[in-house]
Structures are given as structure tokens and as C-alpha cells.
């Protein structure tokens, strides 16, 4: 009985254990069947940071209670040293050029082997007027060009760091007239008959080859017109800015005895006025060293005006005959036999042109060879058989009878010249080279060129506004 009981107990215990195991397995299977299948999830892709990027650590609960981090100070801009011309190789479709005082589109185009039309189209310019500090996009090909670090903007992502006041803060560099010319004009361009000296940090450095080519053309023109070849070499010193006080109103000066002259080159070689200035000063040197030292300032300046305009002014500037006819009919044509002042075209334009008209009259009536003999002697009786006063009277009568351009009245023309001269001299009296002064100077300069081409402003008073 006892054995039977124990056997029964073990059987029941085994049944209970079997039932418990089956229940657990069924519950597990039921859970797996009834639970929905998980959906496939697209893995999240984070951008791989470049070596230059850094990311701050995510804030923790502890860090959120800490004091706020000290804000980073803005980067201190690196001081910009004075630009030193370097030769860079540009391998880009375009560069950004910063206009400096004295620049012209022609000179910039020549520097970058481009054209004025291309630069105007690229920058949507309505005219050739550009101002210091203006940024120009210049299409370029891979080539070597002379660049200055201050003239090319940094990459676009760095533009915010550029000090916009840097351009205005750059001091205007007045040119040296006389003195230590080798130090002031250290760069040289050698040609067969002359040496061109210039400062590589000023605009003539942009197109010295063009300027040298212009000088060669003028020399050939003079030798053909006057029939005398200039022997020996000479030197030219080209400044890209105005001369220092008290010579701001001068555009050129010839040291003919020393076979050198200096000029201000603040316009492109396509400018008729710029071509005239170069031709005018070269005439002084040429005549002194072929005809002889001039016997009077009037003959010296008159020949330089006549030769300069005969080279540069045909079709581009008002002729000497028209200029003097306007002054004669307005009753203000200077008497060249008087002691006239010749202190620069901006001060005494009418005196220079009157002397040029008289020389033109003498050459037209008596020829170049007679004038070449008169130049160093002033022997009017011996060469022409008449006195200076008699010749002057004939010339003034001829000028008064000459026709004047129908596009303006003689009185308006004289008034426009006088007012533009006054505007120049008022500006140059305290000229320091600031951006506004340079812009005003360029504006007056364009008006001056227009007037000498016979194109008067709508109101002559605009010259002094």
C-alpha cells in the first residue's frame, strides 16, 4: 500500500511537470505568431565631416547646468602690408580687379590682355568712367600678369573679412617732378632710341609697352613733318598721378637740354588729350636738339602745341584754327607779342593755343624750314622780311575771318573754357588725393576733353558745380 501510494505520487508529479512545460512553450509560440513583423528601417546617413570641420560635443544634463561658454572673439584681421608688385600665374576664368587712382579701362584691358568692350560688357558699364575702389570682373586666360596683392580681391568666402575702408585709407601718391628720378621711377623699358622710366606701383606700369609705342609713333611723325632726324637717345619719366605741390596743374615738363621729359599718364593711350600731352613734351625735346635752343617761350610753346595737335588732334580735338577763331570773334584772343604767362594749360590754355595758332600761320605761309631758322634766333626781319607786330596783325585778322563751328557760339566756348579752368584750379588748390577729390578730378578732366573737342556742356556753369 505504501509503495503504491508513493508510485501514484510520483506519477502525478511527473504529469504536473509535463503540463507546466507545455503551457510555457505554447504561450511563447502564441506571442511570436500574434506580434506584427517589424518594418525595414532605412539607415540614417550623416555627412562625413571634412578635416577642417569640428563639431562641439552634445550637451549633457550636467553641462546644461554649468555657466554658459565664453563667446569666441572675432578673428583679428591680418595687417595688410604695402602692396609689392609680383608676377602671379592666374588659372581662372576671371579675376576681380580693384580700380586705383589714375586707372582707365584701356590701361586695365591692356594689362590683362583684354579689351575695353569686354570689360564694359562683363561689368555692365554704361560708359568708360571708373572710380578708385570700384571692383571690376576681368575675364582672363591662364597667363602671367603683373599683379599687386591689393588689386585682386580674395576668394568669395573671404570677402566679409576685407576692410572696406582700406581703399579710402590708401594715401594718394603724388609724383616726383625733378629730384631723385631713379628712386622715384625705378622700373625701365628700353627701346632703340629712348628709355621709358616708371614706377611699377602706379598705372603706367599697366601698359608701358603701349606708352613706348606711342612715343615711337610721335617721333616718326615729327621727323617726317619737320624733315630732321633726332640723333642720340633720350629718357621719358612717366608718372601715374599728379605732380606734388606746387606743380599739380602741370601735365608735363621737358628738360630738353638734358634730353629727358616727364609726363603725367592718367588716361589711356586712346585718349586724344593724353596723346597730345606726350606729343607736346616730346616736341620740346625734339626741337631743342634739332633746331637749337628756343629764342622765346612763345615759339617754344607754340611749336609744341602745333606739333602736338597735328599728331593727336585731327578729328578728335578742336583744330587750332577753330579755337583761335572763336577767341578772336569773342574779342579775347591773346596778343602773342605781349609778355604772356605759360604756367601750364590748366592756367593759361588760351595763351598756349594762341602761340600754336601763330606758329601754324608762319608754317602755312612760309614753310617749316623758315620756322626752323626762326626758332633759335627770333630774327623775323631777316627770315620773313616783316616785324613780329606786322606778322601778328596779319595772323589776328586771318583768325577773326575764319569760320567757327556751328555747334557753339564763341562766347559760350570761351565761358566754358574759363569755368572749367577755374574748377580745376579750385580743386587742385587743396588736393590731397581722397576718393571724392579723385572722382571730381576725373569728372572735370572728362569735361575738359569734351570742351577741347568742341562739345560744350549744356550749361557752362556745370564746370564749377
CATH number at residue 143: 3.10.350.10
pTM for the complete prediction? 0.65
75: nearest Cα among 145, 143, 158: 158
Domain assignment present for residue 455? The answer is: no
Same domain, 176 and 153: no
Same domain, 191 and 130: no
200 and 121 assigned to the same domain: no
Q: What is the DSSP string of 2-33?
A: HHHHHHHHHHHHHHHHHHHHHHHHHHHHHHHH
* Nearest alpha carbon to residue 294 among 376, 397, 192, 237: 376
Indicate whether 192 and 269 sit together in one domain: yes
CA separation for the pair 54, 50 (Å, rounded): 8
Cα–Cα distance measured from residue 149 to residue 21, given in angstroms and rounded to the nearest whole number: 88
Residues 193 and 145 in one domain: no
Tell me, yes or no, whether 286 and 181 share the same domain.
Answer: yes
Q: Which of 118, 134, 169 is the last residue of a domain?
A: 169
- Look at residues 137, 169, 201 and tell me which one is the last residue of a structural domain: 169
DSSP reduced 3-state for 433:
coil
Same-domain pairing of 195 and 219: yes
End-to-end, the C-alpha distance of the chain in Å comes to 140
145 shares its domain with 215: no
| CATH number (domain holding residue 195) | 3.40.30.160
Q: Taking the mean position of all CA atoms in its chain, how far away is CA 89?
A: 21
- Does 57 fall in a domain? no
**Can you give the residue range of the structural domain that contains 230?**
172-290
In a domain, 179, yes or no: yes
On whether residue 368 sits in a domain, the answer given is no
For residues 60 and 125, the answer to whether their CB atoms sit within 8 Å is no
Q: What is the pLDDT along the chain (465 residues), one digit of tens a residue?
A: 555 556 666 666 665 666 555 444 444 434 333 333 333 333 433 344 444 343 333 333 333 333 344 444 444 444 444 343 333 333 345 677 778 766 788 778 777 778 888 888 899 887 777 877 788 888 865 433 333 333 333 333 333 333 334 334 457 889 999 889 999 999 999 999 999 999 887 766 568 999 999 999 999 999 999 999 999 999 999 999 999 999 999 999 999 999 999 999 988 888 899 999 999 999 999 999 999 999 999 999 999 999 999 999 777 899 999 999 999 999 999 999 999 999 999 999 999 999 999 999 999 999 999 999 999 999 999 999 999 999 999 999 988 888 876 678 999 999 999 999 999 999 999 999 999 999 999 999 999 999 999 888 764 434 434
Contact 286/311 with Cβ under 8 angstroms? no
Does the residue 428 lie in any domain? Answer: no
Final residue of a structural domain among 169, 199, 225: 169
> Per the structure block, which three cell numbers stand in for 42?
532605412
- What are phi and psi for residue 452, nearest 5 degrees? -70, -10
Is the residue at 244 inside a domain? yes
210 occurs within a structural domain: yes
Q: Judge if 188 and 266 occupy the same domain.
A: yes
Cβ count near 356 (within 10 Å): 26
Specify whether the CB–CB gap between 160 and 202 falls below 8 A: no
Q: Do 139 and 201 belong together in one domain?
A: no
Domain count, the chain: 2
Amino acid at each position: 500500500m505504501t509503495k503504491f501510494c508513493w508510485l501514484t505520487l510520483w506519477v502525478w508529479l511527473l504529469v504536473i511537470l509535463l503540463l507546466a512545460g507545455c503551457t510555457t512553450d505554447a504561450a511563447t509560440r502564441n506571442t511570436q505568431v500574434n506580434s506584427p513583423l517589424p518594418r525595414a528601417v532605412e539607415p540614417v546617413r550623416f555627412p562625413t565631416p571634412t578635416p577642417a570641420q569640428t563639431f562641439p560635443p552634445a550637451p549633457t544634463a550636467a553641462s546644461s547646468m554649468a555657466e554658459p561658454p565664453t563667446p569666441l572673439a572675432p578673428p583679428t584681421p591680418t595687417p595688410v602690408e604695402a602692396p609689392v608688385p609680383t608676377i602671379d600665374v592666374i588659372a581662372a576664368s576671371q579675376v576681380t580687379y580693384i580700380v586705383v587712382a589714375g586707372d582707365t579701362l584701356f590701361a586695365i584691358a591692356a594689362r590683362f590682355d583684354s579689351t575695353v568692350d569686354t570689360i564694359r560688357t562683363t561689368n555692365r558699364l554704361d560708359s568708360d568712367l571708373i572710380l578708385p575702389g570700384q571692383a571690376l570682373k576681368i575675364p582672363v586666360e591662364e597667363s602671367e600678369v603683373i599683379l599687386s596683392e591689393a588689386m585682386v580681391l580674395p576668394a568669395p568666402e573671404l570677402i566679409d573679412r576685407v576692410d572696406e575702408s582700406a581703399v579710402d585709407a590708401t594715401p594718394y601718391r603724388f609724383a616726383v617732378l625733378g629730384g631723385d628720378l631713379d628712386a622715384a621711377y625705378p622700373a625701365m623699358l628700353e627701346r632703340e632710341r629712348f628709355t621709358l622710366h616708371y614706377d611699377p606701383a602706379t598705372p603706367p606700369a599697366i601698359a608701358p609697352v603701349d606708352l613706348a609705342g606711342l612715343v615711337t609713333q610721335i617721333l616718326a611723325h615729327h621727323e617726317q613733318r619737320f624733315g630732321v632726324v633726332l640723333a642720340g637717345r633720350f629718357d621719358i619719366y612717366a608718372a601715374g598721378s599728379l605732380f606734388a605741390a606746387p606743380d599739380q596743374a602741370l601735365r608735363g615738363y621737358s628738360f630738353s637740354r638734358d634730353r629727358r621729359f616727364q609726363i603725367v599718364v592718367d588716361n589711356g593711350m586712346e585718349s586724344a588729350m593724353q596723346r597730345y600731352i606726350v606729343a607736346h613734351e616730346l616736341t620740346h625735346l625734339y626741337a631743342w636738339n634739332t633746331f637749337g635752343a628756343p629764342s622765346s617761350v612763345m615759339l617754344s610753346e607754340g611749336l609744341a602745341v602745333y606739333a602736338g595737335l597735328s599728331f593727336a588732334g585731327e578729328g578728335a580735338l578742336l583744330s587750332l584754327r577753330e579755337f583761335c577763331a572763336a577767341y578772336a570773334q569773342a574779342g579775347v584772343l591773346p596778343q602773342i607779342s605781349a609778355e604772356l604767362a605759360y604756367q601750364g594749360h590748366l592756367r593759361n590754355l588760351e595763351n598756349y593755343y594762341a602761340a600754336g595758332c601763330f606758329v601754324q600761320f608762319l608754317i602755312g605761309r612760309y614753310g617749316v624750314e623758315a620756322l626752323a631758322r626762326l626758332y633759335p634766333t627770333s630774327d623775323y626781319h631777316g627770315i620773313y622780311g616783316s616785324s613780329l607786330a606786322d606778322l601778328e596783325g596779319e595772323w589776328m585778322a586771318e583768325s577773326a575771318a575764319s569760320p567757327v563751328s556751328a555747334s557753339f557760339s564763341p562766347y559760350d566756348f570761351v565761358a566754358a573754357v574759363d569755368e572749367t579752368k577755374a574748377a580745376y584750379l579750385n580743386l587742385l588748390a587743396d588736393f590731397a588725393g581722397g576718393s571724392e577729390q579723385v572722382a571730381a578730378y576725373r569728372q572735370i578732366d572728362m569735361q575738359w576733353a569734351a570742351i577741347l573737342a568742341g562739345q560744350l556742356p549744356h550749361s557752362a556753369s556745370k564746370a564749377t558745380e
